[in-house]
């Protein structure tokens, strides 16, 4: 496994696009988070906003770039034919995929940590100016606060799981455009379907299995009891999606010709 | 000595007109099986989701535990669904004439969300759009033509007619110290409203032409008060809008009728009142008449109705079709870069801008036709199924329905051109697909799934290419009806065609950038 890890690390590290994408993940996440924090005001006491979740809005955008990074990590090899060299040099295919997953998760965790910390910091600086003050029931955002720490750390994990999910899908699909389309449809279209349905039981069910809705439950710090799933259970749903995608991708990688 | 004639093809040299370019691009699109399958899939998934949505939406009405047939939503003279519930004290008027009355006070009560569950929390007060004044109406039938001059809770004097029209008069409410005189005159099918603070100096508020108003109409005093809107957060992130009972009581006197008015006592009608299980009216209005003073109490509204489903709800699945279309449009160009076909293409058609124009035309046409079929089938089948399942639909004119269907197809086509242009700019499918989806789909998702608060959501749908979704809005927003006009409820901040124009602007910009880069860069 060490050799495989080293090979995958070299491949990703030496691609010019990787560093750029990691930078874009951080920039876009922080930018949208800051804009969302700046756009929302809390003029009166007891305004019903979730400050921690608000300051982490950028994850909604950052996840698209994370998915892009993950899809490119595998489909780039298919489009250029490098996959054949890779598999000749490292014939244990599942190990190759596992190594890719580890490297990707590591990179995403690193970029995600920076992005989330900067987003929370932006929220901490911007939100009090918009009326999110202790007088209005919103203490300063702080990672020393249990739920806020959970929201922040969970958001980093969320991004890593999105990377793994995308890697699994792209390994199964192989074509880059189709895989990114599928992943983004899963992330962005499924949440809108929930509002299409009028039956509350179906709404809850869809919410519980949607990777974005369930996964981002980890960011919620208010009205926890009204969530269909607890925050960590929600992240577990996304983890299940990622595992299923990786297993499916790994299986197809083993069974098919490259 | 032999002369060698170089080989010359028998085929005549082809022309490189735009028609030939179009044909070449169409052949490329048509013969890639995956793209044809993709386009078909985009249409099918849109239709399927619309049908599933319609099949899963059931609606029924009940009074207490008993299920009853749903009341038929009245329809106004303009064809729109209307609320038409008010207390009416009236006589008949034949031919021309007028009514004058003085509004002295308006009081009322409002039910607020229960503080203790199960205990009604009623406070006294008047909601902003509570109305009382003089009314001339075709008949007491719900939805019939009318014009009314009224004092409102906090929007001053208003002249409204046929539910959708609203003209503002002088602002301010009424009290015993400063009453307001109102006069409505009829001349043929033209009704004119006047107001006065002293009963002698009159100011014209507005005129209304009620086409086809019969010679004999009802004329009298009315009062009505719409429900108080409370918007709350739903458990899974949506919003719940609840309208609670309110009531207004207006004291009016100095009533003066001119013209051929029926003699005898005033008729009383609680127009549009529904009865409870035991047969008693639910929240009845009423009138107390003593010595020329009328104290009229009313509940309801005379305004366009917003209760019901808009037809474009069936088209929510078009978002998935949009994602497929974006992927197809990007691949239409990036596949050429990946396989090196772009070099052949540019040798055959050296006019790069024209090549791009041909590609854009083909992808736009293919998407438009696919989208048109998908949207037409979805709306047609979806609305039929929704009606069959007892769901009240907000009626719209055939022209509006056409705009929703054709506009959805046009929006998809413009989005495809936008994605194609991004494909030329990036030359890599993943970057182009992500950019297109982040710019078109993500703003819509953020705005409609209540991730962002209302103001943020509205700005997103004004400034991003997602503004084009506005083309699907079939029922307009009315300034004189209190409602939760949020993107989530299907109300967009831009007018339908303005929204589409924003998306077109982005597509044109991207296409211009693509043409520039295409001519500057080596392929």
ipTM: 0.90
- Taking an 8 Å cut-off on Cβ atoms, the answer to whether B430 and A72 are in contact is yes
Chain A residues in contact with B327 (beta carbon < 8 A): 177-178, 180-181
SS3 A58: coil
Domain boundary among B304, B333, B368: B304
pLDDT computed for residue A129 by the predictor = 84
Whether residue B296 sits in one domain with residue B328: no
Cα distances (Å, whole numbers) of residue B237 to A191, A200, B229, B232, B310? 10, 12, 19, 10, 21
Note whether residue B8 is domain-resident.
Answer: no
Note whether residue B147 is domain-resident.
Answer: yes
- Taking an 8 Å cut-off on Cβ atoms, the answer to whether B327 and A72 are in contact is no
pLDDT computed for residue B473 by the predictor = 92
Whether residue B257 sits in one domain with residue B223: yes
Q: Which of B323, B334, B452 sits opposite A189 (nearest CB)?
A: B323
Q: What average pLDDT does the segment A108-117 reach?
A: 95
Give all strands (DSSP E) within B113-156, no chain letters: 121-124, 131-137, 146-152
CB B489 within 8 A of CB B472: no
Whether residue B333 sits in one domain with residue B296: no
Whether residue B395 sits in one domain with residue B251: no
Whether residue B366 sits in one domain with residue B347: yes
pLDDT tens-digit map of B279-329: 788 888 889 988 889 999 999 899 988 778 888 888 988 999 999 999 999
Residue B64 above 70 pLDDT?
A: no
Domain boundary among B304, B332, B357: B304
Among B222, B269, B219, B203, smallest CA distance to B103 is for: B222
What phi and psi, each to the nearest 5 degrees, are found at residue A93?
A: -65, -40
Chain A residues in contact with B488 (beta carbon < 8 A): 195
What tokens were used for B153?
């809770």
Whether residue B267 sits in one domain with residue B385: no
| pLDDT confidence band for A53 (50 / 70 / 90) | confident
What phi and psi, each to the nearest 5 degrees, are found at residue B295?
A: -110, 100
- Taking an 8 Å cut-off on Cβ atoms, the answer to whether B434 and A204 are in contact is no
Q: Is A208 on the interface with B (CB under 8 A)?
A: no
Residue B447's domain spans which residues?
18-56+309-520
**DSSP letters for B183-212:** EEEEETTEEEEEEESSSSS-EEEEEEE-TT
- Taking an 8 Å cut-off on Cβ atoms, the answer to whether A64 and B56 are in contact is no
Domain boundary among B304, B327, B342: B304
Note whether residue B123 is domain-resident.
Answer: yes
Residue B392 above 70 pLDDT?
A: yes
Residue B393 above 70 pLDDT?
A: yes
SS3 B160: strand
Whether residue B300 sits in one domain with residue B392: no
Quickly count: other Cβ atoms within 10 Å of residue B121's Cβ. Answer: 12
SS3 B247: strand
Q: How many domains does chain B have?
A: 2
Whether residue B370 sits in one domain with residue B284: no
Note whether residue B11 is domain-resident.
Answer: no
pLDDT computed for residue B378 by the predictor = 95
In sequence order, the 6+-apart residues with CB closer than 8 A to the CB of B204 are B192, B193, B194
Average pLDDT, chain B: 88
d(CA B299, CA B249): 9
- Taking an 8 Å cut-off on Cβ atoms, the answer to whether B452 and A203 are in contact is no
- Taking an 8 Å cut-off on Cβ atoms, the answer to whether A188 and B441 are in contact is yes
The chain B residue lying nearest A205, using CA atoms, is: B236
d(CA B185, CA B360): 59
| pLDDT confidence band for B457 (50 / 70 / 90) | confident
What tokens were used for B301?
């509204």
Whether residue B113 sits in one domain with residue B48: no
Interface of A with B in 146-185 (CB under 8 A): 176-178, 180-181, 184-185
Whether residue B428 sits in one domain with residue B399: yes
Note whether residue B199 is domain-resident.
Answer: yes
pLDDT computed for residue B14 by the predictor = 64
% of chain A at pLDDT higher than 90: 48
d(CA B9, CA B170): 85
Residue A105 above 70 pLDDT?
A: yes
Largest CA distance in chain B: 130
Note whether residue B67 is domain-resident.
Answer: no
Q: Which of A181, A203, A204 sits opposite B327 (nearest CB)?
A: A181
d(CA A104, CA A167): 9
What are the residue ranges spanned by the domains of chain A? 2-255
Q: What average pLDDT does the segment A154-168 reach?
A: 96
Whether residue B237 sits in one domain with residue B252: yes
Among B147, B146, B133, smallest CA distance to B224 is for: B133
Whether residue B458 sits in one domain with residue B349: yes
Chain B residues in contact with A67 (beta carbon < 8 A): 434
pLDDT computed for residue A138 by the predictor = 79
CB A253 within 8 A of CB A100: no
Cα distances (Å, whole numbers) of residue B374 to A85, B381, B402? 44, 11, 13
Note whether residue B491 is domain-resident.
Answer: yes
């Amino acid at each position: 496994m060490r050799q495989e890890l080293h090979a995958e690390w070299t491949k990703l590290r030496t691609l010019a696009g990787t560093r750029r994408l990691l930078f874009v993940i951080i920039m876009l996440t922080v930018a949208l988070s800051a804009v969302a924090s700046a756009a929302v005001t809390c003029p009166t006491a007891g305004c019903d906003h979730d400050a921690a979740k608000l300051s982490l809005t950028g994850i909604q955008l950052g996840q698209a770039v994370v998915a892009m990074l993950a899809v490119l990590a595998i489909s780039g090899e298919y489009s250029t034919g490098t996959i054949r060299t890779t598999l000749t040099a490292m014939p244990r295919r599942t190990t190759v995929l596992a190594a890719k997953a580890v490297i990707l998760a590591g990179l995403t965790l690193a970029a995600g940590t920076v992005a989330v910390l900067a987003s929370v910091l932006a929220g901490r600086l911007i939100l009090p100016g918009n009326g999110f003050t202790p007088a209005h029931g919103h203490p300063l955002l702080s990672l020393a606060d249990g739920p806020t720490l959970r929201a922040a750390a969970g958001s980093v994990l969320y991004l890593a799981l999105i990377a793994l999910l995308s890697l699994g899908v792209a390994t199964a699909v192989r074509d880059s455009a189709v895989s990114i389309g599928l992943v983004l449809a899963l992330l962005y279209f499924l949440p809108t379907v929930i509002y299409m349905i009028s039956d509350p039981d179906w709404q809850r069910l869809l919410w519980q299995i949607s990777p974005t809705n369930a996964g981002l439950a980890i960011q919620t710090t208010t009205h926890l009891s009204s969530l269909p799933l607890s925050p960590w259970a929600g992240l577990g749903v996304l983890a299940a999606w990622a595992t299923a995608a990786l297993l499916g991708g790994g299986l197809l990688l083993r069974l098919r010709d490259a | 000595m032999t002369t060698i004639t170089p080989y010359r093809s028998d085929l005549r040299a082809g022309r490189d007109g735009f028609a030939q370019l179009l044909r070449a691009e169409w052949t490329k699109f048509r013969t890639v099986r995956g793209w044809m399958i993709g386009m078909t899939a985009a249409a099918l998934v849109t239709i399927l989701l619309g049908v599933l949505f319609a099949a899963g939406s059931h609606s029924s009405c009940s009074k207490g535990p008993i299920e009853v047939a749903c009341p038929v939503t009245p329809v106004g003279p303009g064809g729109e669904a209307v609320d038409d519930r008010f207390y009416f004290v009236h006589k008949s008027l034949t031919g021309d004439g007028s009514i004058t009355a003085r509004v002295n006070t308006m009081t009322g009560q409002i039910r607020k969300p229960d503080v203790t569950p199960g205990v009604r929390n009623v406070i006294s007060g008047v909601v902003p759009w509570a109305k009382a004044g003089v009314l001339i109406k075709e008949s007491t039938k719900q939805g019939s033509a009318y014009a009314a001059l009224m004092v409102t809770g906090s929007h001053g004097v208003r002249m409204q007619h046929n539910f959708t029209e609203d003209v503002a008069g002088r602002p301010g409410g009424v009290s015993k110290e400063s009453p307001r005189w109102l006069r409505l005159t009829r001349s043929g099918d033209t009704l004119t409203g006047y107001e006065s603070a002293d009963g002698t100096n009159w100011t014209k508020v507005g005129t209304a032409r009620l086409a086809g108003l019969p010679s004999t109409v009802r004329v009298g005093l009315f009062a009505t008060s719409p429900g108080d809107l409370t918007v709350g957060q739903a458990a899974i992130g949506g919003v719940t809008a609840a309208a609670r009972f309110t009531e207004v009581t207006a004291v009016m006197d100095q009533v003066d009728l001119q013209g051929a008015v029926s003699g005898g006592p005033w008729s009383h009608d609680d127009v549009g009142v529904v009865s409870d299980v035991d047969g008693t009216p639910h929240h009845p209005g009423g009138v107390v008449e003593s010595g020329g003073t009328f104290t009229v109490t009313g509940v309801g509204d005379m305004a366009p109705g917003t209760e019901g489903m808009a037809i474009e709800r069936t088209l929510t699945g078009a978002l998935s079709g949009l994602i497929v279309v974006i992927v197809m449009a990007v691949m239409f160009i990036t596949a050429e870069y990946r396989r090196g076909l772009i070099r052949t293409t540019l040798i055959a058609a050296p006019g790069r801008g024209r090549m791009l124009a041909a590609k854009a035309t083909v992808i736009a046409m293919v998407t438009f036709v696919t989208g048109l079929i998908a949207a037409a089938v979805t709306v047609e089948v979806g609305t039929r199924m929704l009606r069959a399942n007892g769901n009240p639909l907000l009626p719209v004119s055939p022209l509006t329905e056409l705009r929703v269907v054709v506009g959805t197809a046009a929006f998809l086509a413009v989005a495809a051109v936008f994605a194609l242009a991004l494909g030329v700019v990036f030359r890599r499918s993943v970057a182009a697909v992500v950019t297109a989806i982040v710019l078109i789909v993500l703003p819509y998702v953020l705005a409609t799934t209540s991730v962002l608060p209302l103001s943020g959501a509205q700005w997103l749908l004004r400034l991003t290419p997602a503004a084009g979704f506005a083309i699907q809005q079939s029922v307009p927003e009315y300034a004189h009806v209190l409602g939760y006009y949020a993107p989530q409820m299907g109300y967009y901040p831009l007018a339908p065609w303005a929204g589409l124009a924003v998306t077109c602007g982005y597509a044109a910009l991207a296409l211009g950038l693509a043409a520039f880069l295409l001519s500057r860069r080596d392929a």
